[in-house]
Amino acid sequence: MDEAPEAGVPTYDTRPGYSPTNPQFPWGPFRHTALDLPATGDKGPAYEASWWRNGWGNDVFPRFDLYRATGSNPPFALGLIYTVDRSPDTQIDASNPAAYYQLGATLGNDQRMPPLFLDIRGIQMSQPVTLAPGATKPFEGRWYLHYRWYDWERHGAVTINIPFGVDVTPPSAVATLVAVPHKGFTGPIGKDGWSAARRADVQWADIEYDTLSGTVMYEVTVNGGVHPSSIFHLDHVHTNLTIENDVLMPGRNKIEVRAIDRANNKSDPSVTYFNSDPDTPTISVTAPLAGALVPARSTFSVVASDAAGIRDVKFKIDGELVHTDISAPYSAQLDLSRFANGTRVFSATVTDMLGRQVTTTRSFVLDKTFPVISNLTFGPTPFFPIIRDGNRDNMTVRCTISERAAVQLVVYNANGTIRATRSGNFAPGAVAIAWNGRGNGAADAPVPGRYTFRLRVQDPAGNVTWGPVRTVVIQNFELVRVGPNAVRSVPR
């Protein structure tokens, strides 16, 4: 009966103002303090934690700190005899102390006994198995500790009865939880309950959620943080809590409410959301640049922001919807082949969660015309770049292009990998690009073999035309005729 609690089972002082774990709930799961006053045996105010806690706890090992006022009867107490049952009026029979549990110790100067721990589950095993209203365990419900002091000669004349309760069953979940704009808000309410309100009224049914120990108060959590207000159960039709803008954030706020009973059990959370969008969105174009030449397929991008979130961003060309984006980054490669060449207008419209819209525009020049390559020639082949003696040292590609463009000669190895590139910017008309047989590195010397090449022509708008594939040969020697029927190999 008087053994210590299981390891890890906490006990707390229930005296007003004492808070070992949470200042919002000054009286923890269980701990009772009783006073034995002279003559009346009155337990005194320190035993009752508060009107709403009323001696309830959720610890099956309640702790009692018992002490005596100076002048109490008997004057020199050595201990006490006690019993625990569910009757409020049980009297200790001093003539039969062996029938009761005993806790003996010499009281200190402060007249305190060592802590008394009760094993309620063990006690219940000797009691009738009944469930109190609202209980889920047989050991739950109201209990009473009855005790008398004793000394060497006699027992105290007064039986002291201390009621307490054990409740480990959480309350049921809070009903009809809603969050609406504060009553002073006069703005519109948009889709899915979005508004520009920065204050919310949170309401729920203030009814009894725990029929065992009773509902005491409610805990409100906003976006994972416990709200500092203490909301007590007062049997209203509904309870209202106004949440200010220093707690609410722009966007979707998650609000949870838990009922708390007298034993400090918490219900599962009831959840609602409050959608606040107090600001106007912003948007700006990042691509293309103003007045830029744009090919038939090009990337269009914007940057959009809103503290509460963005519902969508719509892209239009000359007023025609071409793309809708619902998440960042707001960018898309658009096919503009159905639009005519010339100056076009790109517009982007952002819509925030409340439905506000902001539009930005940018003009660009659409150029769908691909450059034309004509009159392609090249030579010599083979050529001899290994020993540069002025004889066929380079191979030159020549052509005509239809418009101003960047021209690149791309040379490939036999396995298809790139061997070398040579580039230049040219006006409409004749083009000539030479290759000296080397790769792209300064130390990448010519190597005899067969190579293929192509021309890549890109106009200012980004339209690209590739020329046909041609073949060229590098040799390290030249056959020179030395007679009507004779040749000689000359190193190059």
pLDDT band at 317 (very low <50, low <70, confident <90, very high): very high
For the cut 80, the answer to whether the pLDDT of residue 9 exceeds it is: no
- Counting the structural domains of the chain, the total is 4
CB 478 within 8 A of CB 393: no
Q: Please check whether residues 473 and 382 belong to one and the same domain.
A: yes
Q: Please check whether residues 52 and 160 belong to one and the same domain.
A: yes
In sequence order, what are the beta bridge partners of 193? none
Q: Please check whether residues 232 and 304 belong to one and the same domain.
A: no
pLDDT band at 20 (very low <50, low <70, confident <90, very high): very low
Contacts 24+ apart (CB under 8 A), 449-452: 449/413, 449/414, 449/473, 449/474, 450/414, 451/411, 451/412, 451/413, 451/414, 451/419, 452/411, 452/412
Locate 63 and state its tokens: 């702790």
Domain boundary residue, one of 166, 189, 220: 166
pLDDT band at 71 (very low <50, low <70, confident <90, very high): low
Confidence at residue 34, expressed as pLDDT on a 0 to 100 scale: 44
CB 82 within 8 A of CB 103: yes
Domain boundary residue, one of 366, 398, 419: 366
Confidence at residue 207, expressed as pLDDT on a 0 to 100 scale: 93
In this predicted model, which residue has the larger pLDDT, 294 or 246?
294
pTM of the model: 0.71
Domain containing residue 69: 32-166
Residue 490 inside a domain? The answer is no
Residue 15 inside a domain? The answer is no
Work out the mean pLDDT of the chain and round it to a whole number.
Answer: 84
The CATH number of the domain holding residue 383 is 2.60.40.2550
CB 36 within 8 A of CB 4: no
Residue 487 inside a domain? The answer is no
The CATH number of the domain holding residue 81 is 2.60.40
Residue 195 inside a domain? The answer is yes
Residue 41 inside a domain? The answer is yes
CA 338 to chain centre: 43
Q: Please check whether residues 385 and 352 belong to one and the same domain.
A: no
- CA-wise closest residue to 79 among 47, 40, 107: 107
DSSP secondary structure letters along 368-430: -PPP-EEEEEEE-SSB--SS-SSSS--EEEEEEESSSEEEEEEEE-TTS-EEEEEEEEE-SEE
Q: Please check whether residues 359 and 443 belong to one and the same domain.
A: no
Residue 40 inside a domain? The answer is yes
Torsion angle defined by CA atoms of residues 232, 233, 239 and 245, in that order, rounded to the nearest 10 degrees: 20
The CATH number of the domain holding residue 189 is 2.60.40.10
Determine the Cα–Cα distance for residues 68 and 153; give it in Å rounded to an integer.
18
Q: Please check whether residues 213 and 184 belong to one and the same domain.
A: yes
Q: Please check whether residues 128 and 221 belong to one and the same domain.
A: no
For the cut 60, the answer to whether the pLDDT of residue 342 exceeds it is: yes
Locate 165 and state its tokens: 């309760």
Confidence at residue 484, expressed as pLDDT on a 0 to 100 scale: 80
In sequence order, what are the beta bridge partners of 320? 317
**Per-residue model confidence as pLDDT tens digits over 374-419:** 999 999 999 989 878 778 889 999 999 999 999 999 999 999 999 9
Confidence at residue 62, expressed as pLDDT on a 0 to 100 scale: 83
Domain boundary residue, one of 335, 366, 397: 366
pLDDT band at 19 (very low <50, low <70, confident <90, very high): very low
- CA-wise closest residue to 336 among 370, 368, 314: 368
Confidence at residue 185, expressed as pLDDT on a 0 to 100 scale: 92
> Which three-class secondary structure state does DSSP give residue 155?
strand
**Per-residue model confidence as pLDDT tens digits over 174-228:** 999 999 999 989 999 988 899 999 999 999 999 999 999 999 899 999 999 999 9
Contacts of 492 (CB under 8 A, 6+ apart): 384, 386, 387, 389, 391, 392, 475, 476, 477, 478
Confidence at residue 6, expressed as pLDDT on a 0 to 100 scale: 33
Q: Please check whether residues 160 and 184 belong to one and the same domain.
A: no
Locate 480 and state its tokens: 């020179």
Contacts of 477 (CB under 8 A, 6+ apart): 384, 489, 490, 491, 492
> Which three-class secondary structure state does DSSP give residue 103?
strand
Q: Please check whether residues 48 and 160 belong to one and the same domain.
A: yes
Q: Please check whether residues 89 and 130 belong to one and the same domain.
A: yes
Q: Please check whether residues 40 and 85 belong to one and the same domain.
A: yes
Residue 290 inside a domain? The answer is yes
Q: Please check whether residues 260 and 303 belong to one and the same domain.
A: no
For the cut 80, the answer to whether the pLDDT of residue 358 exceeds it is: yes
Residue 27 inside a domain? The answer is no
Confidence at residue 76, expressed as pLDDT on a 0 to 100 scale: 65
**Per-residue model confidence as pLDDT tens digits over 100-147:** 888 776 555 556 677 788 888 888 888 777 888 888 899 999 999 998
pLDDT band at 441 (very low <50, low <70, confident <90, very high): confident
For the cut 70, the answer to whether the pLDDT of residue 48 exceeds it is: no
Confidence at residue 112, expressed as pLDDT on a 0 to 100 scale: 67
Percent of the chain at pLDDT exceeding 90: 58
For the cut 80, the answer to whether the pLDDT of residue 239 exceeds it is: yes
